[in-house]
Structures are given as C-alpha cells and as structure tokens.
Structure 1
Amino acid sequence: MMDLLHLLPLEVLPSPTSLTGIVLIGTTLVVSSILLSAIYNLYLHPLASFPGPLLHRASLFPYLYRQVTGKLPYSVLDFHARYGPVVRISPNSLSFADPQAWKDIYGHRSPGQEEFAKPNLFYRTKGIPPSILSETRENHGVLRKLMAHGFSERSMRAQEGIIGGYVNALISGLRGHCFGKEEKKDDGVSSEKETEQKKQQPVPLDMVSWYNWTTFDVIGDLAFGEPFGCLEKAEYDPWVDAIGKSVRFGSILLAIRVLGLEDVVHPIIEKLSNKARRFHRKRTMDKLQRRVNLTKERPDFLEGLLQKREEWGMDMERLAANASLLIIAGSETTATLLSGATYLLLKHPEAMKKLIEEVRSTFKSEEEITLSSVGSLEYMLACINEAMRLYPPVPIGMPRVVPKGGAKVAGTFVPEGTVVAVWQWATNHNEQHFLEAFEFHPERWMHDPRFANDRLDAVQPFNVGPRNCLGRNLAIAEMRLILAKVVYNFDMQLANPGKDWLDQQIFTFWDKPALPVCLTPVERNGA
C-alpha cells in the first residue's frame, strides 16, 4: 500500500501535521475497520451460515442499541418469527427458541464433558468479588452445597414464622393506607361521616412498591438477619432504592464491557459513584457484621456459609457479594412476578373470580393461610405459572459459551466459542409453542384439552440444570402466601384500567412503572 502512495497527486494527500488530515486518516481507518469487520462477520465468520437480520449479523452495534434502549427481548421474538428456531442475533451470538435448548445449553453434562460456561463479560463486574452466580463450575458446586442449608424443606418450615410476620405486616399496611391517611379534626377525632366517605373512596396504592417492600424485608431478614424497615416506614430504604435505580445503568455498563471499554470507563465510573459505593459497602458490611456476630443458629441463607467460613476461606468481601446477590435475586424477581400476576388477574375478571372463590372457600380464617397450606391452591399455581410465562421476572437470555470442539444444541451443531441462550420472554410468546401465546389462560396449566399441544416445557423461569435457581420452592411458596393473603383480605380494582402496564422496557430486569390499585377490605361476620 505504501508503495502505491507515490502514484497519487500530492494535493490529495492530507498533511499528517494538520488536524484535518489526522481526523481524515482516523475516520478512514475506523470506517475501514468497520467495513472489514462486517465483511468478515457476514461471509467468513464460523456463524456465517446461520440466519438472522443483516445488520445484527454484520455488527455488534444494532444488538447493543436494542439492549440499551430496552427493546432487545421484543426484537428477538420478531427475529424468530422471521428466521426460525435458531437466530444469529449478533456476530457471535445465537438465540434458540426450541424447548430442547434449555437442557442442551443449561442442563447437566455427562462425566468428562465441559459445561457451557458463563461468559465473564456478562456475569462479572470489575472490582466486585465473584458470587455463586458468577463462580466457576467447581466453586459454584461448593457454594451451592453450603447455601442449600438455607433453602431446604427443614429451613423453610423454620422460616415460616419470619416470612409470615412480614406478610402480615403487608396486610396491615395495606389496610392502614387503602383509604388514605385519615385527616384529624381540631379535636383530634374524625367525624363518622368523614370516615364513611373515606371507606367509600379507596385511594390507589402502588402495588409494585408494596410488594417490593415486603420481599426486600423478608429477604433482608433471611440474608442479613434483619429487615430493611420498608414495610414499617412504607417507603424504600436508600440501599434498596439504589438497587432499583441501577437496573437501567447495568445495561449500559454491559454494553461498555462488550465493546472492550471497561478499563477506560471504569476509573470514571469509580470516581462518579465513589460516594454511593462507599455508602452501599458500609451498609452491607455493617449488616453482615451484625449477622456474623450472632452466636445463635438461624434458619437463614447465610448459616451454611458461616458454618464453613474458615474452612473454605470465605472472607467478608465474598460473604457480602453472595448476600447482596441473594437480596436482589430473592426480592426483585418475586416482587416482579407478584406485580405482573396482580395486573393480569385484574385485567381478566373471570380468572380473578375463580381465584377469589378458591382462596376464600379454602380458608375459613386468615390464620389458616400458611406457607405450607397455600400449596393446596391449584388454580392459584396455574395463575402464577401463566404469569411467569407472560411476564417472566428474568425476560432476557442468560448467555453461555459453547465448549471446545463445539456441541449440538436442539439438533444443530454450534461451533466452539459461540455465545448461546434461550430468551425467556421471546420463547414464552412464541406462537409455535403456545395457542394464543399473548393471552392469559391459567387453564393451559390445568390439562385443559384446548391447550393440549402447548409446549409447557418451554417455560423455565428458574432455569434448569446444575445452576438452576436454588430458591425455587421458597419463591413459589412465598408468592402463593402473599397473593393468597391479599386476595383473601381485599377486593381489588385497577386505578387506570385503560393503561397497558405491561408496555415496559427491559434492562436485564423489567423497568416497572407504578401499578396503582384500589383495595377495599373484605368485611366478614365477626371480623
């Protein structure tokens, strides 16, 4: 190339000392690099034969744009509708819509076979110790065994009093706020007429917040040995509020890592967030230290780790990383599902009527509603399963990397090093798997012959295999208990029935708006 430069007229060659020339050369190099990369991705890449949108096959940028704007899971469904069950959604990523892919990607491997590893780009953040979510296969197995103590049937029975106490606090809080804060007269007493008017006009309560306050207090107690005090104050704790506000930024940070810019951007983020990070770390360490100092054994999530802490060299930083993960995984997802289930039930009065009848006919008093007794509510479980299908708490695809030598996924050979995933929201709404895929039909989970051809195995909100959700049974029981108590105690109505609450952006988790609901306490004889 350099030998050819003498053939060009001197006047067309930019002066290397001029700013314009430097910019022109830089721009030419960048554009050339992008074009060459696109040509390679489209025609020479190991995934060149896989179908997908042209721009997504050529470059990472369309994928990252949809990700940071919260539209990617919706687009993945459109891609599968156009290109089939296997789609190339970025130069080195494939999305699978076939239910068999759950087992092939995330399931147990035969002895001697490598697992589909978790890519560090997605699961790890610089400066934060690994947790059970991001640990290696060997370390994950050790941590899982230690933490399983807190999720056992025995521990669940012992935790019932803790969980039930916060659920009762939720019901008490809803009763105290559903007609607004009572205004006092000068003599400190409200008139009977004013009280009656308030009872006739319930004020909307944001159920997203109330569910979040409940699940954060529950998980705070089970992870740190003390609640966050959200229910008591009827407001978010600053620590909890910061977690919610970081969801959107996490998507941007992931894009930065994928582009290879983390080392450049990290010092800037550290400087901008230094105060918030110090506050978060101090709060976490203070709570953790108080839990460590407890000498009495507790049926919580950290007990197993603390018992083996010295043997496994578990320092405070790693304990804090796992405790923080439990706070997010055990609260945000549960509150999300409860919010979605409440909205879907209120949008489908016939389903809500059936659920009310089941709950209120099964239990004669509120004391009968317990973590174990709600297991008999079959229609409620169908409603929860259908809500998890339509509104999965983790709607994205959890990426894995194909091991050395490549592997077959749903009957398709995939080259080694490829990032693969099953995208939950897209798979759950695929019309190839479900009749009336966008409609709320709990009956599809109750052997209704109309839905006999539905692929219910496509719905895996807790994942499958050796890294599936450790707290699945507890989460479902907690969801049932909370929903049963709310339905038993209140009649509910959407404050804005014309608004599509499900129209949300997705940044790893849902970017949930408020869900205003009017609640009217159920009056019972002798109550």
Structure 2
Amino acid sequence: MASNWLFQRVIDTPPGDLVIFGLGAVTLYASFRYIYYVHFHPASGFPGPRLAAISNIWYAYHWVTGKYPWAVAEALKKYGDVVRVAPNELAFITPRAFSDIYDSHTSGQEHFPKTNFMDLGLGDDGLSWERNPAKHHADAKKLAPAFSMKSMKAKESTMHKYTDAFVQRMKNFGGREDGIELKTWTDWVAMDASADLAYSREMHHLRDMKSTSFLDELWVVNFFVTANQIFKKFPLLSPIRWLFVPPSILASYYKVQRMNQEALESRIARRGNTEHLDHFEQLLPVNAPAPTREEQKHIEVITGHLVIAGYEPIASQIFCTIMFSLLEPQNLKLLVEEIRAEFKSYEDIHADALGTLRFLNASLMETLRITVLSSNGMPRASPGTMVDGNYIARGVEVQYGVLAFTRSPRYFHDPHRYRPQRWLPEDHPHWDPVFKDDAREDFHPFSLGPRSCPGMPMAWRQTRLFIAKVLWTFDVEMLPNQSIVFERDFRMYGMWEKPKFWVRFHSVPRDS
C-alpha cells in the first residue's frame, strides 16, 4: 500500500531532515500566502499596515487590547479613506461609504449582509445578529409595533418607575461623604428598566443595591464575545478555541444563557397576566399558540438581544452624559439651567415635554458622538459593488470607522472635546459658529437602512427623561482627584468597559 510505504519512509527519515523539511514547507506556504495576499487578493490594491494585509494578527492584537477602534482611526489617518485592516477586510471613513454600505437596500433587505462577526454558535442568530436579510426583515417587521409611538407612550410609566427609584435612592444615599460610584448605579437602573421593558422581568438592582449574578456574569462574558470573533479569523485554531478561554468565563457564558432561558419560560407562563406592556407582547401575543422548542429558542435569543440593546447603550449614555458634563462645568451649568427653567415641578417632567430642550438634546447627541455606539465597525459582506467610488469584490468584508469619523478634524471641529454646542441650531444663543462646517448631517449613531436600531425613539425618550429628572432634582458634585480621559480609560470589547466615577448628589432645596 502506498500509504504504508509513505509512513515507513517518514519513520526512516532522520529527525534533522524532518525538521528541515517542515521548515521548508512552512516557508513555502508563508511565501505563497504573502504573494497571494499582497499581489492577487481582491483587497490587495488597498493600502494599510503590511501585517494586516498578510495576517489577522494585527486585527487580533488590537481587539485584545480593547483599542481596536482607535487603531483603525490611526490607520485611516495614515493611509487614507479606505484601509485594509485584515487580509479580507477593509475599513472606510467617508460619509458616502457609510451610506453605500448600510443604507443600500431593496424591499427592506440590505445589499450588504452581516458577517458572522457576532455569531456565538447558539444555532440561532436572533434579530440583531441574523445574517439572512429575509429572516431579519420578517422578525423586524413583527417586532416593529413594540416601538410605535402608541407603544412607547404605554411603556413610559415603566421608564418613570426606574428613574424615580434611582432619584429616591440618591436622596437617601447619594449625599454621603464618600459619595456613590456612578457607573455601578447607572448600570443598575438601566438593566432594571431594560429587563422589565423587554419581558416584564424584575431584577431589583436598585431595590437591593447590589448586582445580580446575571449582570455580573454578563460583564465576565464581555471579553469572551471578542475572543470568539477573533478565533473566527484563525480557522485552524477554531477547534481548540475553548482551550484559550478561562473555564470561569465559559461557566459564566453558559450561566447567562441558562438564566435568560429560565426568565423567558417564566414570561411565557405569565402571558396575559403582566402588570404592563412589554416588547415580548409582539413576539408571542396572548392568543398565540404555545411555541415549539425551536420557536422558543428563537424568542429566547431575541429577548436576550432586546435586554442587552436596552441596557448597555442606555447605561453608557446616561453615565457618560453626566460624567462629561461634570468634566466640562460650563456645559453642565447650561444643561441644568435649561432643565430647571422649563419645569416648575418634578411631576411636570415627561417624555413629550423634553423634545424641545435643545441643550439637553445637544448634550445627549454629543455623548453619542464621543462614545460611538457602533465602535465595533459593523462589518458587512460586499455583494460585489461600489463603495465610495471603489469596486469591492464579492465576499470582501467592509466596515466603517465610526470612531475615526467622529475624531477626525476633517469632519468635526475640536473633535476630542465634549462640546454639545456643535449640535445646537444656529439661532440658539449658545451656538458657536466654529462648528458650522461640522458633518452633523452625516453622523448616524443608530445607523441607517434596514439594520438601523428600531429602538432609537425609545432610547431618546428614556435618556432625556433620566437626565432631566436627575438634574432637576440634584446638584451633582464630582469627587476630587479624578481624571477621566475617554481615549485612555475606555475599552471596547463586546460592550464598552468604562472606568469608575465617584460623585455626590445634593438635593436642590425648593419650596414645597
């Protein structure tokens, strides 16, 4: 047999010759790989770091450090409007590129489908991570009524419930000499509200003043999400990727899944018997038949997405708006004055009355510009078409450097400073003409097209409500000896890793 003959020849070969042969094979493979990716790959005509052109090591390293968005920004600054960030992946920065990639669609189905970037191997990609445009369109259409104006108004009482609970806790504990850690408390209020809005799940962080195991485990899993997507770039290592993940993280990952499954089963059992309207009502109405195991799994993944989407962006938004404002006292003064001048009593503050507060809206918009919801690049697969005047071959992955765009002086004046004034209308007394050339119309924090965030109107209502009620009620004081710099102290994995920030809340004295 030829195989036996070959096996015997290998055994009889001196070890030194085997080493030489192995090194030669590796060298030959590396040479062919280099030649192909540098000269013949469809992305070979685009500039970028040489290491990124021939290997995914550049990509993986910057993701592991939590600084990938900044690395892409530096590469775009150095190489131009389109840069190669991996052998088969390109990043863009121009507004035209953003529109070409995310807003091109036919009959509600995007031309650039999602990649497997966020596929966690669950067997179901839910809503946010679904790659099939037709399946995503069907689920999005089914869920759309949950974010209608009628539905949002019905759910506003739930938003008030948790904002009011936060305010009461700060009255009781926020004025202590040692203060409170704001990141933790905004995580608690955002998760309590998100879980209740998504599927009437009460988590009681504010009541118990401690994190649930669900919230703790979710943050442990944060880095795993990044590690998982990195290993997809190294197919030969994928089968052993679990060996590179600490057992504690794997345990946390499966624990989060199990807790979410148990909460979902509880909500299914309570159909028609909940205290208020939630998003789940659209996924499985009261009169719908009991779901099959496959349908229940799909609903479970979607509800998980809804909880995370309603939690982390909201937590970051309210935390950072207060923090950035405290770091820029003049902006805080203008924000507080606007809110307190508008409302004579706490009970007057409601979502519809907040839409006209220009400095409040400008402050929240500037927070979105600084923190950038989509800092992971939102990778898509090219169908074989033009992006910003460049032909991108079918199968090449493309992404947008949103953080690079928001930090570029080409698009924003004084881009690293928190300056809400840039979002004010030009007839506002605090408008500054130095911002007249800012690319305000080209910034889309909730994306564009069929994949834009359906919860955008609700997010605006919820964050306005929280900031207005809190700053109407309290003078917020930053504890001394704190120096927070976004570019230095924040890291991006599956979600933003944020620094601790200590503050005191002082109730504003008012006549009853």
Please list, as runs of the form range in 1=range in 2, the aligned pairs for 1:24-423 lying within 5 A after superposition: 25-110=21-106, 115-120=111-116, 122-135=117-130, 136-180=132-176, 202-260=177-235, 261-266=237-242, 275-296=251-272, 298-307=276-285, 310=289, 315-403=295-383, 406-423=384-401
Greater alpha carbon shift after TM alignment, 394-403 vs 282-291: 282-291
- The answer for the alignment partner of 1:522 in structure 2 is 508
**What amino acid does structure 2 have at the position aligned with 1:287?**
A
Change (3 A) 1:265 1:18: farther
Stretches of 4+ aligned residues off by more than 3 angstroms: 13-32, 110-114, 266-279, 308-314
**What amino acid does structure 2 have at the position aligned with 1:372?**
D
Aligned identity (percent) is 27
- The answer for the alignment partner of 2:472 in structure 1 is 488
Aligned with 1:372: secondary structure?
helix
Greater alpha carbon shift after TM alignment, 418-427 vs 19-28: 19-28
- Does the 8 Å contact 1:247/1:508 carry over to 2? yes
Change (3 A) 1:112 1:253: closer
**What amino acid does structure 1 have at the position aligned with 2:124?**
P
Change (3 A) 1:320 1:452: same
Deviations 1:379-398 (A, max 9, x none): 10001111111112332200
- Does the 8 Å contact 1:333/1:394 carry over to 2? no
Change (3 A) 1:128 1:168: farther
Aligned with 1:408: secondary structure?
strand
Change (3 A) 1:358 1:278: same
- For 2:340 and 2:109, how far apart are their aligned partners in 1? 51
Aligned with 2:374: secondary structure?
coil
Deviations 1:490-513 (A, max 9, x none): 112222454124222221422112
- For 2:72 and 2:448, how far apart are their aligned partners in 1? 21
Q: Which runs of 5+ in 2 are unaligned?
A: 1-8
- The answer for the alignment partner of 1:424 in structure 2 is 402
Change (3 A) 1:147 1:20: farther
Shift of 1:245: 1.9
Change (3 A) 1:130 1:363: same
- For 2:299 and 2:265, how far apart are their aligned partners in 1? 10
Shift of 1:474: 0.4
Change (3 A) 1:516 1:478: same
- For 2:491 and 2:321, how far apart are their aligned partners in 1? 18
- For 1:324 and 1:334, how far apart are their aligned partners in 2? 16
Q: State the Cα RMSD in Å.
A: 2.5
Shift of 1:137: 0.9
- For 2:108 and 2:332, how far apart are their aligned partners in 1? 50
Deviations 1:383-438 (A, max 9, x none): 111111111233220000101xx211122221111111112211111111111111
- The answer for the alignment partner of 2:419 in structure 1 is 441
Shift of 1:330: 0.8
- For 1:231 and 1:28, how far apart are their aligned partners in 2? 63
- The answer for the alignment partner of 1:9 in structure 2 is none
Aligned with 2:386: secondary structure?
strand
**What amino acid does structure 2 have at the position aligned with 1:210?**
W
Deviations 1:431-465 (A, max 9, x none): 11111111222111113432121111332221110
Q: Does 1:507 find its partner at 2:489?
A: no
Q: Which has the larger radius of gyration?
A: 1
Shift of 1:257: 1.7
Change (3 A) 1:64 1:496: farther
For normalisation by structure 2, the TM-score amounts to 0.89
Deviations 1:245-300 (A, max 9, x none): 21122211211122113333358869766654553333222211221122427521
- Does the 8 Å contact 1:428/1:458 carry over to 2? no
- For 1:334 and 1:363, how far apart are their aligned partners in 2? 24
- For 1:34 and 1:271, how far apart are their aligned partners in 2? 33
- Does the 8 Å contact 2:217/2:255 carry over to 1? no
- Does the 8 Å contact 1:216/1:227 carry over to 2? no
**What amino acid does structure 2 have at the position aligned with 1:74?**
W
